[in-house]
Structure 1
């Protein structure tokens, strides 16, 4: 990440000598109506997705791999670029030219970037069944423990709400770089916020809010946080969250109060390393600050949090957890320093999370095999982990290869770069997917949805091989959670950014992630003799019908990395 950000800064500085011409062009455009073509954009995604700086001669210039937007009659032959800036006004659902003096939004609220456009989510309704699945299935699940179950989870669960402020602890192993970015980011942007938004696009893994995630069946939360200097605690993934981390904890508590038969497990760390301690866990944060914060968390969940002197994840049934109101179970990173002696009983040591990472989509052949191996042996791993209250967590999250981030940065910030070369270096140098041709993922969510397409194959395989002894871990965390507890495997991003020349009927294809894990829990409980035959049949049939709504789909897309017969 350090090299990438420095490269981005270097590229912006290369453009600086052209700034006088660019400034004149901006002034002319915003006062004489040159970019009034913004008015023609009818959605937030297409409006904000228009590149601010284009190479007039290349259809795949900076940012154009997703949304080609060339406007006629706006070329400057000497400069060889077009300057376009469009902002979306959510108050009147209209698109406006950046800096327009005569066609302003009806309020001061503008959306400047596609990734802050509203996520495609039916906000007026909540899903059926998923908000209360533990309670609805109590007749077969009630006597099982948390460490018997497999919980649907999300990776970097709070990244749907990232700001454009680089976190003090956001770029692991590069604390000085974080300070530099905090000081200088934004100062050399042609359009303010571009560097920061680029970082956000490489950091955001989720489109749904924490409440929506819980409503969609998630019961394992990857809760990451950091104390920001002399300020409060924020969530983070490179950038800090818009709100204090306490805000999201309050949402979880309020949700639990509305769903009295549900149990939520949270893994609270800085960067998913439950075994890190002291400065390795939270650089520069004093023990007294950690303990003061944890005291506030315990007070917040006082009538809902587990008391480990009474309840234990490996021996206390769901029924007893619910009866005792021990329904929030935190695994706390930096446990010894974070929780004072009198408050240790309200959490489990975060190092008890057996977090197995596996491979990611850049080496999908390896990832596919490692997931098969993990699921075929999960029963034995869970059995051994349960003895010591260890929670077996499997990462099915994706990561952005450095070469992909670098290629995406060149395409976004350098209008004079050869995008064809950048795309080629990205597709052939970063990924082993043979059908990824002519397109470089420009955001982590693009990478995540491409990865989810292949994750669905191994998830479905494990579910169908239950009778052969395959199982799921105690929890899985992954990216791109979508409506109805699905993961999005199509090409359109959650906030509406579409791709050109993809397979139209699969733009928003989804896989039933939450129902698949919940269905496994029913199968396992019934195998263990929980519930009568009638209930087992009823619940199994119900889950199977739900899974058919988003039945697994595979297809060939020779541009965006979806293959029908690979890597099986």
Structure 2
């Protein structure tokens, strides 16, 4: 997992005056555009089944054989379904004290849903329905922003944080308070009451949109691939 040794990467970037960013976005290729166009503009049975099946093959998810993501939002939400696993694993590794585990300084994602979530369900943000009306997972979402906030609160409540023009990994950058004040930086630390209230709030918010996995292989959602959490 890229995020397991992220502390070392964050530190190395900070020492060079930079920062780390992890791209969790994705994009379709010409094969996806072609299959989508044929599906949209040619009525069945004239639409090219071979193009749709080739698109499904290139998406490369076991069990996905006859559906091609029709829009960039379909691609983004399918990617977000699996991105949530990576983010959740890294979050728990970091807060449980796994050596070296951390978030990068920034994530790069395709789209955000209401409340700072990422949509992992099958109904697109524009309202297009892909599953049946009985599909209870159409608008399922993961608490992306609240998870990032919870991670940062955990870091702030356990280590000193340098507050300056930039935010750095505290373990790598803090040094002693006198030295940092002389350099124009300030050391801030959340008090116990601040930590308690913020952690309680963010735990509650994360419960509203937890990691959610289910089996719908026809639309690319699996709960057993690749090494999915349970």
TM-score by length of 2: 0.79
Indicate conservation of the 8 Å contact 2:74/2:122, yes or no: yes
The CA RMSD measured in Å over matched residues stands at 1.7
CA distance in 1, matches of 2:120, 2:140: 6
**1:462 lines up with 2:96 in the alignment:** no
What whole-Å deviation, never above 9, does each CA across 1:242-291 have from its counterpart, x for those lacking one?
Answer: xxxxxxxxxxxxxxxxxxxxxxxxxxxxxxxxxxxxxxxxxxxxxxxxxx
**1:524 lines up with 2:155 in the alignment:** yes
Q: Structure 1: which 5+ runs fail to align?
A: 1-371
Indicate conservation of the 8 Å contact 1:502/1:560, yes or no: no
Partner secondary structure for residue 464 of structure 1: helix
CA distance in 2, matches of 1:386, 1:500: 45
CA distance in 2, matches of 1:406, 1:501: 25
Question: 2:37 maps to which residue?
Answer: 409
**1:436 lines up with 2:64 in the alignment:** yes
Partner secondary structure for residue 3 of structure 2: helix
Number of residues paired by the alignment? 195
How far 1:426 moved relative to its partner? Answer: 1.2
How far 1:405 moved relative to its partner? Answer: 1.6
**1:452 lines up with 2:111 in the alignment:** no
Q: Which has the higher strand share?
A: 1
Question: 1:426 maps to which residue?
Answer: 55
**1:514 lines up with 2:142 in the alignment:** no
Equivalent in 112, 125, 128 of residue 481 of structure 1: 112
Larger-gyration structure (1/2): 1
Indicate conservation of the 8 Å contact 1:395/1:477, yes or no: yes
CA distance in 2, matches of 1:503, 1:559: 15
Indicate conservation of the 8 Å contact 2:122/2:131, yes or no: no
CA distance in 1, matches of 2:145, 2:155: 15
Indicate conservation of the 8 Å contact 2:31/2:55, yes or no: yes
- Output aligned runs, 1:72-471, within 5 Å: 372=1, 374-415=2-43, 417-428=46-57, 430-466=58-94, 467-469=97-99, 470-471=101-102
Partner secondary structure for residue 506 of structure 1: coil
Partner secondary structure for residue 481 of structure 1: coil
Question: 2:132 maps to which residue?
Answer: 501
CA distance in 2, matches of 1:426, 1:502: 25
CA distance in 2, matches of 1:387, 1:487: 32
Residues 503 and 448 (structure 1), Cα distance of their counterparts in 2 relative to 1, 3 Å cut? farther
How far 1:399 moved relative to its partner? Answer: 1.0
Question: 1:542 maps to which residue?
Answer: 201
How far 1:422 moved relative to its partner? Answer: 2.3
Question: 1:552 maps to which residue?
Answer: 211
How far 1:502 moved relative to its partner? Answer: 7.5
TM-score by length of 1: 0.33
